[in-house]
Amino acid sequence: AQTVTQSQPEMSVQEAETVTLSCTYDTSESDYYLFWYKQPPSRQMILVIRQEAYKQQNATENRFSVNFQKAAKSFSLKISDSQLGDAAMYFCAYRNRDDKIIFGKGTRLHILP
């Protein structure tokens, strides 16, 4: 069974600074997807970024980028130029061949003004 581990329950970053959220996963599959989701206080799940396992190039979406290390099964999220609106719970997630999404326990990100 696949597992997703986020070892940082909470993190804080100064506004305009850069922060990296860590995520590791375990799987025996070779083809899968990885995601970072943001859950603000409204609790609506928002897709931040997605990475296809067979692509070596790290995904980027504006201020958000990932460092995908397939061999190490590591998938960290870097947020550049942090903004107050980035404050939320961030979930790392793995999607397997059965299309099921397994979520990590989440990292609560605080943005300090």
Partner 1 sequence: GAVVSQHPSWVICKSGTSVKIECRSLDFQATTMFWYRQFPKQSLMLMATSNEGSKATYEQGVEKDKFLINHASLTLSTLTVTSAHPEDSSFYICSARVTGGFGETQYFGPGTRLLVL
What number of other Cβ atoms are within 10 A of residue 37's Cβ? 21
- Among the listed ranges 19-27, 66-74, 77-85, 97-105, the one in contact with partner 1 (CB under 8 A) is 97-105
Residue with Cβ nearer partner 1 (12 or 18):
12
89 φ, ψ (degrees, to nearest 5): -90, 130
**Backbone φ and ψ of 85, nearest 5°:** -70, -10
Number of residues that bind partner 1 (CB under 8 A): 21
What string marks each residue from 75 to 94 as x (binds partner 1 by CB under 8 A) or -? ----------------x---
The three-point CA angle 34-103-32 to 5° equals 30
Residues 12-71 close enough to bind partner 1 by CB under 8 A: 33, 37, 42-45, 47, 50, 52
Q: Smaller CB distance to partner 1: residue 58 or 102?
A: 102
Backbone phi, then psi, for 40, in 5-degree steps? -75, 180
Q: Whose Cβ is closer to partner 1: residue 43's or residue 85's?
A: 43
Which residue type occupies 107? T
